[in-house]
Amino acid sequence: MLIGALLVAFLLSIFLTPFVGKLAIKLGATDKPNERKVHSKIMPRMGGLAIFLSFFITFLIFTNDFWEQLPLLVGALVIILIGMADDIYELRAAPKFLGQVLAALIIVLWGGLEVEFINLPFFTDTLQFGIFSIPITILWIVAIINAINLIDGLDGLAGGVSTIALVTIATMALIKGDLFVAMVALTVIGSTLGFLKYNFHPAKIFMGDTGALFLGYIIAVLSLLGFKNVTMISLIVPIIILGVPISDTFFAIIRRIVNKQPISAADKSHLHHCLLDLGFTHKQTVLLIYALAACFGLAAIIFSFATMWGALILVTGILLIIEIFVEKIGLVSSNYQPLLKMLNFKNKP
């Protein structure tokens, strides 16, 4: 069943994407070149509609509890409509944000998805979130939606990174015996891989906000379904899985604070921009970020089997590597190198 869902979604996506591309052009959902874009011609976007339709049709074919999972699908539909509206009309930040919150509210309040507590390491008591459980869950969903959206800057980048995250989620779901999470993850993987046939460099179509918001939504929800109400250590697993988009978003916020810019301001200093500036080609940059995402996914799987102290050491090592990498490529700014300066100072005779 699981492999069947992946294959059906993959074939549907390959079939539907060209039609969605033609529809995007008719609706005016096109991406025009500007100083922040790396492409040089007008491109159809809204390709994420093909990913969603492939997922939705496959889900209907393979699920046995459609009505029970209706909140997941309705939340996804809200996200798709917001993404399509943005791809066609270029919405302001406020309505996009409200649409994301609405989708999160649907899955949280109607679907009952809620992180209520965590077990703290070295303590016997649990930390109950109480009235904060719903806001925390909504914050997670909205944050991951925007993290995936922010890395959608190169051909095939967001789709590939999302696929790697979903492969990790599906693997861990199978290890835990959670067939539903595995089935949904594999269905989205198939849908995204089919779309990547047209989206990998040189792209014939972009997924647009329709695709980026949907992938962010489904990844955020699946990560909570697989890891809610667990130990503090296990709660870190989905953060590691999404290490690339979360790190890029975190340091984008730091960069804007350092440069005294609004947090919502757009710039051309994201991870993929920095790698391009270092001389990597478009394809090399995408493949390098794929490799980073795969390393995070592998680390997440290892982390889930580690002892308490092993997990803490692994997290510390990951954080140090991220910081050194960020300073090396100038993700915050060319002058932001506190750790490298400290290491150079210690190495001086």
Per residue in 142-197, pLDDT (tens digit) is 999 998 998 887 889 999 999 999 999 999 889 888 899 999 999 999 999 999 99
Residue 279's pLDDT is what? 84
Distance between alpha carbon 129 and the CA centroid of its chain, in Å? Answer: 25
Threshold 0.85, pTM exceeds: yes
Give every CB contact of residue 255 below 8 A, 6+ residues apart in sequence: 267, 269, 331, 332, 333
Residue 191's pLDDT is what? 98
Residue 262's pLDDT is what? 75
Q: Over the stretch 109-134, which tens digit does the pLDDT of each residue have?
A: 999 988 776 665 555 566 777 888 89
Radius of gyration of the chain (CA): 20
Task: Say which amino acid occupies 346.
Answer: K
Nearest to 72 by CA among 123, 30, 109, 122: 109
Minimum mean pLDDT range among 101-110, 202-211, 310-319: 310-319
Q: Over the stretch 34-64, which tens digit does the pLDDT of each residue have?
A: 555 555 578 899 999 999 999 999 999 998 8
